[in-house]
A and B are shown apart, each in its own frame.
Chain A
């Protein structure tokens, strides 16, 4: 039943949309799939963004991790598909290589 047409992007591609909501970059965070328990970077999720909203799916089991819909001046976000997100605060502080 799995697809042989490659119609998705990486979770990376949602970084802009998610930056509207989160102060930290979520795509570098690790997230656990609430369905199969796989823990991967959000950037590795399979992203479907051509439809009515953004849908991120687990790269292992294809269950929905996150859904995001822009409704005029409101954003709807569903993250039921993840048991948690773990963010690397130290890495996020080094947000630029300018001073490296």
Chain B
């Protein structure tokens, strides 16, 4: 089945957010995607209203816990496997291992944040998409709405009324 994208260009994040709300009001199930030179709360709220926050946070929590546990287990096991008695202290002197466990927590937590960005944000990925425009990294804001046919007069009018500077239809597949 053919797929088209109606691509609207805006000159500000506020207009983009307004347009998202307008389109959502009429067709709540519409498949929308935005293109922005920088993140904007208003746009994010309009685009993901009612949805759960990014899953990156859960991944970082899991990574942090895994890092902390592995830091303690690594130091404890190695201290028993190759015992070095220091100052008549127990082999598993956990206060000395806190530093390693802390560093592992931060390291694995940070790596999990990157993994989350890659997994959920689809980075790395292809950027040479038909709907991508170089102006989106400069200062223009874009909104793409999925459509099944190239004649989308109503939607185009709606986007112009919401403040779009230009609306084009792109063959996406």
Q: Do A and B actually bind? A: no
Task: Point out residues on B near A: beta carbons under 8 Å.
Answer: none
